[in-house]
Structure 1
């Protein structure tokens, strides 16, 4: 069986960070921690001009949290720790002084939508529909909400959150501002991302750093805010409602 991984390669100024999990690219704590670490490494690497964030496989970008790990949570501290993983990844992306380009080749659910929203620029295929399913399992998109609302607005975020079982297609996500463009297939997506990163490599890194600070203005409190949100999710995941729903998704 294929093993989960997070890898980073740096070629001619472009850092490509890839994550993969056979379970629809869901993210357990260990992968979230590795993802945060690789983003921080790229942030401080003077040989990196631009970062590309992508996942393996062809039809699912990221299914969000690992349900098996959610089921195993037994205390509020464990719950907060798990959801803090998403908080730390989003904050690492926010504070990275280089532009992060997200390549969304397929469906994004929950935390996967949050990661896409935390990127500075997203390109996707027509298969990259999105869903915020958290309320349907008894929790809510608390940790990712600031990133999602910043990107697509509170109204669109609220619509997705309330309609927690509904996938919204890639063109809807483009209209709302999550995706800059949508392509017919992964090959076209790859070409578009490569063209963009070659252009970004020519930009003044000091100007990019300053621009990111402007783009992410008024988000400095996210370091504490997202951890507070993680505590909310970490408490709710212990509810009988959520435990009952999650048990239906348990896999060996």
Structure 2
């Protein structure tokens, strides 16, 4: 299957789905489409609630596109690539509608950041998480603020430093990343649909105001995530990282 970002609307719910054949990794073009789709959903009067999901039934998101990381050859390209994740997170943050996360499988790196930037996130028992960035010589700089906001600095530092370990969906639920964990994908989908449809019946003005309250203190993220993207964009050029990426390839 070819990569895509698509949106469907059902019962007032805007389902935004992304897919990439390489474990739902996200190259720059998909990141741009995803940020645009989220922004458009926020402006669409037919959409009351947004659900973020990915295609397939295994991996939610493997994070940054490995092939694109390898191709980065200067700091400007590096900054622009990592700004892709920053723009998606900021689109989710500023979207005036609640975003529900539907995490069907493993989330790695930027995928953890996407899950953390949702307003309410549900998962299956297979949705383990890992921040692998330090293992290749960079770090979860861009997604770090969103993850820290959900699981605290202690949780972030634990998974960022333990970069080779997958942490279970139960651990993620205990830390507050996931609100509920389900045994099967069908149970997850039923719960996401039911919860979203209930929310869609609420006062949209009240939900918009409540979302602003939830995200208080993040008003500087446009600048903060830009600065973080610049850090990652420089580190990805280091000899250590270039060697690691070649070894993995």
Asked if Structure 1 and Structure 2 have the same fold, meaning a TM-score greater than 0.5 normalized by the shorter chain, the answer is yes
Aligned-residue offset at 1:46: 1.0
The alignment's C-alpha RMSD in Å is: 0.6
What's the counterpart of residue 218 of structure 1?
Answer: 217
Ranges in structure 2 where 5+ consecutive residues have no aligned partner: none
> SS where residue 8 of structure 2 aligns?
strand
> SS where residue 158 of structure 2 aligns?
helix
Aligned-residue offset at 1:247: 1.2
Contact 2:12 2:197 in 1 (8 A): no
**Paired residues, number:** 249
Matches within 5 A, 1:125-204: 125-204=124-203
What's the counterpart of residue 119 of structure 2?
Answer: 120
Q: Give the Cα separation in 1 of the matches to 2:111 and 2:197.
A: 26
Superposition TM-score, scaled by structure 2 size? 0.99
Q: Give the Cα separation in 2 of the matches to 1:248 and 1:38.
A: 35
Ranges in structure 1 where 5+ consecutive residues have no aligned partner: none
> SS where residue 229 of structure 1 aligns?
helix
What's the counterpart of residue 232 of structure 1?
Answer: 231
> SS where residue 57 of structure 2 aligns?
coil
What's the counterpart of residue 241 of structure 1?
Answer: 240
**Is 1:26 the counterpart of 2:31 in the alignment?**
no
What's the counterpart of residue 6 of structure 2?
Answer: 7
Contact 2:11 2:197 in 1 (8 A): no
Superposition TM-score, scaled by structure 1 size? 0.98
Aligned-residue offset at 1:116: 0.2
Aligned-residue offset at 1:133: 0.4
Contact 2:18 2:55 in 1 (8 A): yes
Q: Give the Cα separation in 2 of the matches to 1:239 and 1:233.
A: 10
